[in-house]
A and B are shown apart, each in its own frame.
Chain A
């Protein structure tokens, strides 16, 4: 019983590629058109597969206007469930982050994390979660980068990002250029692979480890 369950989980690690939650204004119309076409074609199939929920809407704020006039199409601002996020081109990092800290008082970098979408052309979405004490406001900055691409480090902007960037590197293999110590943080130095990538098989890793270190067949 336990064995079959474990195998099932393993097979699900390759999660199906999803529609990007970031709907750019042009693609939003496209997906809308697709779902209505799908509905017309075959009743309720589309709604049964993906539960309907709120969709991200464009976020208009003085902050967005200010930077849109500066960066133009390289910046896309949206809000989902009342949470705001800005998707920018990776070339705007770290200048955009520095501006957010210096000019917009986002003085606290809460977290840096990434999400892996293996079927996209730019596989990784890197996310900075920022907070401003003065405005009592949260903001997420997102960047899409390809596998193997690197990003400039933001340690000189917020010291808190030191370990956070190391964790992103450890778990996803994304390099941050200019980081003072770009090494693994949670996993041991000789570890193979980056576990939070979708193509990282947990069972295979376990079996290999047991084989090499214990010399027996893994019970998984």
Chain B
């Protein structure tokens, strides 16, 4: 093959040497024009109304800009005009696939401000539901992420099994998605008859199912080609960008709010923090798969050790936290979810700030997709695991 033939072949394959090696030597082939295209806001692979402006050179991504805010409802402003208890259901609408985690963080933040502690039984119930929710969130992520990349089967598997979690939620508090399961001071609902048995059965039921998902994907040639070395981000980059959750852990930083600054009853359970090594899409997938198994471990311990006793602390009927401010954060399925509340001693928060993990994590998209192909952008958006309700609030 002559040199010119080689170049022609490269252009067809879309992998010219200067891109692959990353050096800036002048291009020897026909220069393509830079192209700016919109991905979204209505696009099945952006997981909601996210608009990504892509700057392309052929199929290569030169840069991105995210346009967000389509789902902005002003929850922080709403909070200033509602009482503490009235705002509780609103937090479910941020990360709507992990409503239990949102509620847990909010209730604990207000409890801290009130200097009230939830009873042990309430804490255990909270942990069980929050971990179930983490599994449900990861299942939804896995199904849609795999679907984006082209594997349709996992979607049906994960949604089938997620249904069992939603059934437990529905039986516990009457709602499947926006649960409003907890109240300030503890839980409103006692566990229903057969709750413990059903949760134990679920753990038994889902453990082999996670292996099933892995059997479909972990050694799958196409899956590996599409995810390995795609969207690589290093640990220091993650820290500088404020990225938390599975994305941070897949880059080798072993940090989890549940371990670093335990809340609820997490200090009483044994579990590990899975970490990755390379920080690519495949590692993030493996980290989340292990996280599901760790969640099952926590649930099993919590159900077996579920203490007897009250589920509600003594909280005044009218919640009026003393003048002061608090920052409290939890490990939501997406990362560090924080609430910063300023109280002026009245029944309404003077200021309530939500530190959303999805919003901060989405900032890393640009770093992760530069130099990749357009098809990889879809994989990377999926792997960050954003929920636009939380990005925009």
B360 with A164: CB separation less than 8 A: yes
Contact partner, B350, options A18, A50, A133, A159, Cβ 8 Å: A18
Complex CA gap A198/B128 in Å reads: 39
B76 with A196: CB separation less than 8 A: yes
* B345 / chain A contacts, CB cutoff of 8 Å: 18, 49-51
Complex CA gap A185/B50 in Å reads: 12
Contact partner, B69, options A129, A138, A158, A188, Cβ 8 Å: A188
Does any Cβ of A come within 8 Å of B179's Cβ? Answer: no
A156-184 to B contact mask, C-beta < 8 Å, 1/0? 00111111100000010000000000001
A160 with B242: CB separation less than 8 A: yes
* B353 / chain A contacts, CB cutoff of 8 Å: 111, 113
Does any Cβ of A come within 8 Å of B342's Cβ? Answer: yes
- Distance in Å: Cβ of A201 to nearest Cβ of chain B: 11
Q: A171-B76, A185-B68, A187-B69 are in contact. Are A140 and B242 (CB under 8 A)?
A: no
Complex CA gap A158/B238 in Å reads: 11
A14-50 to B contact mask, C-beta < 8 Å, 1/0? 0110110100000000000000000000000000011
Complex CA gap A138/B338 in Å reads: 12
Complex CA gap A175/B239 in Å reads: 25
By size class, the interface of chain B is 35 or more
Does any Cβ of B come within 8 Å of A110's Cβ? Answer: yes
Interface size on A, residues (CB 8 A): 50
A13 with B340: CB separation less than 8 A: no
* A49 / chain B contacts, CB cutoff of 8 Å: 345
- Distance in Å: Cβ of A34 to nearest Cβ of chain B: 14
- Chain A residue nearest in CB terms to B112: A81
- Chain B residue nearest in CB terms to A13: B81
A21 with B392: CB separation less than 8 A: no
Does any Cβ of B come within 8 Å of A127's Cβ? Answer: yes
Does any Cβ of B come within 8 Å of A52's Cβ? Answer: yes
* B348 / chain A contacts, CB cutoff of 8 Å: 12, 15
Q: A160-B241, A164-B360 are in contact. Are A81 and B77 (CB under 8 A)?
A: no
In chain A, positions 188-220 with a C-beta closer than 8 Å to chain B are 188, 195-196, 200, 202
* A12 / chain B contacts, CB cutoff of 8 Å: 81, 348
B330-368 to A contact mask, C-beta < 8 Å, 1/0? 000000101010101110101101010001100100000
Q: A19-B323, A51-B322 are in contact. List 11 more A-B contacts (CB 8 A).
A: A16-B344, A50-B323, A110-B355, A113-B351, A138-B327, A159-B241, A160-B242, A185-B69, A196-B80, A196-B351, A200-B77
A to B CB contacts below 8 Å, 6 in the list = A16-B346, A21-B342, A50-B322, A81-B326, A111-B353, A188-B69
